[in-house]
Amino acid sequence: MFSKFLDHEVKVSALINDLVHLCHEKRDYTTQNFLQWYVAEQIEEEALARTILDKLKLIGDDKGGLYLFDRDVNQLTVTSAAAPDIND
């Protein structure tokens, strides 16, 4: 399910990027500027999906890990997913 979530967010990002490209071709800079919010939002959404997938891959089949994952997801926000991890 979370792989499909990421795939969907990547698809939405591609569609938004296509709109930005079209605005650039048409020299519609006002709409292009408007779309930048959506571009930034999609970066955050993709980061969230990737963070969730990475956590699930680390957990594997560990039942205890799934309990901790559930707790972590409750605290996870889009902003925290997009922020660099200072522990890396």
Domains of the chain: 2-82 (1.20.1260.10)
CA dist 56 and 54 (Å) reads: 5
Residue in the structure block whose two tokens are 């650039």: 24
In single-letter form, the type of residue at position 51 comes to T
Give the model confidence (pLDDT) of 31-86 as tens digits.
999 999 999 999 999 998 998 899 888 888 877 777 778 777 777 765 555 555 55
Residue 46 structure tokens? 């993709």
CA dist 44 and 30 (Å) reads: 23
- In terms of pLDDT, which residue wins out, 78 or 25? 25
Q: How far is CA 15 from CA 4, 27, 28, 60, in A?
A: 16, 18, 17, 32
What count of other Cβ atoms lies within 10 Å of the Cβ of residue 1?
6
